[in-house]
Amino acid sequence: MRSLVSKLGFLVVAALVAGCASNKYPAAPELAASSDYSYIIGAGDTLNIIVWRNPELSMSIPVRPDGKISTPLVDEMVAQGKNSIQVAREIEGVLGKLVRDPVVTVIVTSFVGPYSEQIRVVGEAARPQFLSYKQKMTLLDVMIAVGGLTDFADGNGASILRTGEGGKQYSVRLRDLVKRGDISQNVEMKPGDILIIPQSWF
């Protein structure tokens, strides 16, 4: 009997410790993403540059690791950290010195995005990795992309480190979301969020 009581006591203490660990940060706000989000170009993206009435100047090019692009009449232009409209206007400014009234459209066809905008997943995910941010991306989208939790994950002790808010940290209950279908935990992600999934002690 004494053995049973001690085992029950251990389980209660373990539950309390786990509960305290998962509540050390405030809950993540349900609506986090901005509706006016504009995709920011990063190294590794592919840009389709279309110059109206000048097919010889139109082409698909990658953004180099240094964040720059080069085309026949545009050398060493920085594209990283800008949206497609900003890049198009800058190309027009350069071409305007050589081509009459250039009209440029820039379309991003392969998405990586700058590191500052990527979602990082670390810890006890099946496939820890970084993901390109997409508007209205949710926590469940992220968990599907990384293959869920490992058997050793403390899913309800997970947290989101929000770099866009000066490193503020929010508590999220991943196990409730993934295993129990608790949609109240399916918060929206923000560019640059880091999802931290700790290992369970028990």
Pair 96, 138 in one domain: no
Pair 80, 147 in one domain: no
Q: How many structural domains does the chain have?
A: 2
User: What CATH number does residue 89 fall under?
Assistant: 3.30.1950.10
Look at residue 146 and tell me if it is in a domain: yes
pLDDT value for 18: 43
CB burial class (10 A; 0-12, 13-18, 19+) of residue 71? middle
User: What CATH number does residue 166 fall under?
Assistant: 3.10.560.10
Look at residue 26 and tell me if it is in a domain: no
Q: How far apart are CA 187 and CA 32, in angstroms?
A: 7
Q: What is the mean pLDDT of the chain?
A: 87
- 79: CB partners within 8 A, 6+ apart: 41, 45, 47, 63, 67, 68, 69, 87
Q: How confident is the model at residue 31 (pLDDT cuts 50, 70, 90)?
A: low
Pair 134, 183 in one domain: yes
Give the tens place of pLDDT for each residue, 57-89: 999 999 999 999 999 899 899 999 999 999 999
Q: How confident is the model at residue 27 (pLDDT cuts 50, 70, 90)?
A: confident
**pTM of this prediction?**
0.76
Pair 63, 129 in one domain: no
The more confidently predicted of residues 5 and 116 is: 116
> Is it the case that residue 17 has pLDDT exceeding 70?
no
Give me the amino acid identity at 125: A
Q: How far apart are CA 166 and CA 27, in angstroms?
A: 17
Pair 120, 62 in one domain: no
Mark which of 110, 137, 159 sits at the end of a domain.
110
The whole domain housing 88 covers 46-110
> Is it the case that residue 160 has pLDDT exceeding 90?
yes
pLDDT value for 5: 37
Give the best-scoring range by mean pLDDT among 16-20, 37-41, 195-199. 195-199
Q: How far apart are CA 200 and CA 105, in angstroms?
A: 50
